[in-house]
Amino acid sequence: MAFDTSSLHQYAAVRVKRSRIDGFGVFADEVIAAGRHIGDLTGEAITVAEARRRAQDRQRLMLVELSPSRAIDCSRSDDAMRFTNHSCAANARIEVEDGEVRFFALREIAIGEEITVSYGLTHHEGRLECRCGADNCQRRL
């Protein structure tokens, strides 16, 4: 699946395809400079309580907590960035501000390289195996 969003909001051109980390991932279709705004993530606005309830019913999650009380469910979003996988050696970061979720490159990302972020603290509480394969992998999420 190609998502050329470069003409919209000056986002980076990315592609969704199978990932060696987990399921599908987001891959750079162009060189992405360090600090560049890669893309955004949107979804259904829900409460954190509802997000945690939904998390119990799903194998794969596409939920982002925006605040202690608000979250978004990205499972039905058209945004390619919803497929961003975790890595302990992430090449991008998530910025949540004023209810918006944005992705920025931490370093230059090569064409064909998977775009990854550190999920940080998750609801998995260390129960989910990390499969990022990074040298510094923490092994659990």
What range defines the domain where residue 92 resides?
A: 1-39+80-122
- 14 plus 72 within the same structural domain: no
Q: Taking Cα atoms as reference points, which of 126, 38, 33, 133 lies closest to residue 82?
A: 38
Work out how many domains the chain is built from and give that number: 2
Mean pLDDT of the chain: 87
Distances (CA, A) of 140 to 77, 86, 91: 27, 11, 19
84 and 118 share a domain? yes
DSSP 35-50: T-EEEEE--EEEEHHH
Residue with tokens 């998977």: 114
Give the predicted TM-score (pTM) of the model.
0.83
Question: Over the stretch 74-114, which tens digit does the pLDDT of each residue have?
Answer: 888 889 999 999 999 999 999 988 878 999 999 999 999 99
Q: Are 110 and 28 in contact (CB under 8 A)?
A: yes
- Within a domain: residue 135? no
pLDDT for res 80: 94
pLDDT of residue 141: 80
Give the pLDDT confidence of 12-32 residue by residue, as tens digits. Answer: 999 999 999 999 999 999 999
